[in-house]
Amino acid sequence: MAEMKKIATRDSYGETLVELAQQGADNLVVFDADLAESTRTAWFRDVYPDRHFDCGIAEQNMVAVAGGMSTMGYVPFVSSFAMFAAGRAYDQIRNTIGYPHLNVKIAVTHAGLSVGEDGASHQCCEDLALMRAIPGMVILSPADAVEARAAVIAAYNYNGPVYLRFSRLATPVFHDPESYQFQIGKGEKLTDGYDVAVVSTGLMTTEALRAAVLAKRQGINVRVINMPTIKPIDEEILLTAARECRRIITVEEHSVIGGLGEAVCSVLSEKMPCYVRRLGVQDQFGHSGPAAEVLRDYGLSAEAIAAAVREVVRPDDPAPAASDAPAEEE
């Protein structure tokens, strides 16, 4: 892949909040829990200080206050690290936001292993599983800065609770801001191929694209599907991939328990069973280290994905029939 500009999706989040307000979103308010510089909501605070509320290190209170504000016609964006929002404030997100289906957006940064040096206590790899289980919760996980901007705008325009997952790590921007179209509940086919489909989300999509290039050199054609909406997931694009490729690999910077991989399997096991391998965090906690090294340690690099592709496709053997193949392989 050609060298691309790198921007963290959290940066796009902060910029888009300001953009929305400047374009007339007068009901937009932003909450943070003493992490505004890191979550980039400080950029909104600096321009609209009367509409930014720092609740201190009190994430549970912050979520509850945001819920109350939403009942008065405001559209609150609640921000913290994934561990402190989805983790510490889960009760309030479920009961105060989810149960009454309030119009609150939970926008988290520093999700997954790529938090890097912050270590296992901050590497939240369970948040998608927690949020998927809340009825009516929409979950968005953009792959680059362009998609992050589009996701924030879509979340603002959506009437109901939304969980947005952003990264700390700067990642390549591969979408064209002039032509990219985002829609909640829709995946995106980035490359064509019929040997195997790789379904990825968040910053893993760039690694999947790189893996497709590596696999191509081995004579394997990979269909890369970017899945920016984890819930509701795009069933149509998955069923087409299962029918045409017969093998699917999912890749996520999250536990294989309850995340993208299981969301994909829940669709295919009922509607079109085929071989699925889930790449992600294998029932482990993270560890401290530079982000790129940590991701490699957990098999979430382009090289590791390409190796999994080769193992699954086995060019010298015919593909397993959809009805005969196992549902997954560890």
* Residues 27 and 73: beta-carbon distance below 8 Å: yes
* Co-location of 42 and 70 in the same domain: yes
Active-site positions read: 59
* Co-location of 78 and 164 in the same domain: yes
Whole-number pLDDT of residue 286: 86
Question: What does the mean pLDDT of the chain come to?
Answer: 93
Distance between CA atoms of residues 231 and 131, nearest Å:
9
Residue type, 279: L
Rounded average pLDDT over 124-143: 97
Q: Can you spell out the DSSP letters for 215-245?
A: HHTTT--EEEEE--EEES--HHHHHHHHHHH
Please state, as a whole number, how many other Cβ atoms lie within 10 Å of the Cβ of residue 158: 15
**Residue 315: which pLDDT band, with cuts at 50, 70 and 90?**
low
Whether residue 132 lies inside any domain: the answer is: yes
Token couple for 73: 């016609």
- The answer for 54, left when phi > 0, alpha when psi is -120 to 50, beta otherwise, is beta
* Co-location of 219 and 144 in the same domain: no
* Residues 190 and 176: beta-carbon distance below 8 Å: no
Find where tokens 């906690």 sit.
285
* Co-location of 30 and 128 in the same domain: yes
* Co-location of 97 and 246 in the same domain: no
* Co-location of 144 and 209 in the same domain: no
**Residue 35: which pLDDT band, with cuts at 50, 70 and 90?**
very high
pLDDT at 78 over 60: yes
* Co-location of 168 and 192 in the same domain: no
* Co-location of 53 and 12 in the same domain: yes
CA-nearest of 186, 98, 89 to 142 is: 186
More confident residue, 325 or 236: 236
Rounded average pLDDT over 234-261: 97
pLDDT at 267 over 60: yes
Is residue 75 within a helix (H) or strand (E), and if so which, with residue range?
strand 75-81
Whether residue 327 lies inside any domain: the answer is: no
- The answer for 163, left when phi > 0, alpha when psi is -120 to 50, beta otherwise, is beta
Whole-number pLDDT of residue 21: 98
Whole-number pLDDT of residue 120: 85
Whole-number pLDDT of residue 3: 67
Q: Residues 88, 92, 94, 95: what is their CA dihedral angle, to the nearest 10 degrees?
A: 150
Q: Between 204-216 and 302-313, two packed helices, what is the crossing angle to 10 degrees?
A: 50
Instruction: Return the CATH number at 279.
Output: 3.40.50.920
More confident residue, 2 or 91: 91
- The model's pLDDT over 287-308, given as tens digits with 9 standing for 90+, comes to 888 888 989 999 999 999 999 9
Distance between CA atoms of residues 238 and 249, nearest Å:
11
Helices and strands in the chain: count of H runs, count of E runs: 13, 14
pLDDT at 167 over 70: yes
Whether residue 116 lies inside any domain: the answer is: yes
Distances (CA, A) of 58 to 62, 85, 95, 131, 280: 6, 10, 17, 20, 31
Whole-number pLDDT of residue 276: 97
Whether residue 55 lies inside any domain: the answer is: yes
* Co-location of 148 and 14 in the same domain: yes
* Co-location of 160 and 209 in the same domain: no
pLDDT at 329 over 90: no
* Co-location of 223 and 287 in the same domain: yes
Sign of CA dihedral 143, 310, 123, 170: negative
**Residue 116: which pLDDT band, with cuts at 50, 70 and 90?**
confident
Distance between CA atoms of residues 42 and 28, nearest Å:
15
Whole-number pLDDT of residue 324: 41
pLDDT at 219 over 50: yes
Whole-number pLDDT of residue 330: 36
Whole-number pLDDT of residue 326: 40
Distance between CA atoms of residues 72 and 81, nearest Å:
26
CA-nearest of 297, 306, 134 to 231 is: 134
Distance between CA atoms of residues 272 and 158, nearest Å:
30
Rounded average pLDDT over 69-93: 96
Q: Which domain holds residue 245?
A: 188-312
Rounded average pLDDT over 92-120: 93
Rounded average pLDDT over 84-99: 96
Distance between CA atoms of residues 28 and 182, nearest Å:
21
CA-nearest of 289, 300, 312 to 204 is: 300
Please state, as a whole number, how many other Cβ atoms lie within 10 Å of the Cβ of residue 24: 8
Whole-number pLDDT of residue 269: 96
pLDDT at 322 over 80: no
CA-nearest of 4, 284, 39, 278 to 152 is: 39
Q: How far is CA 37 from the centre of its chain?
A: 21
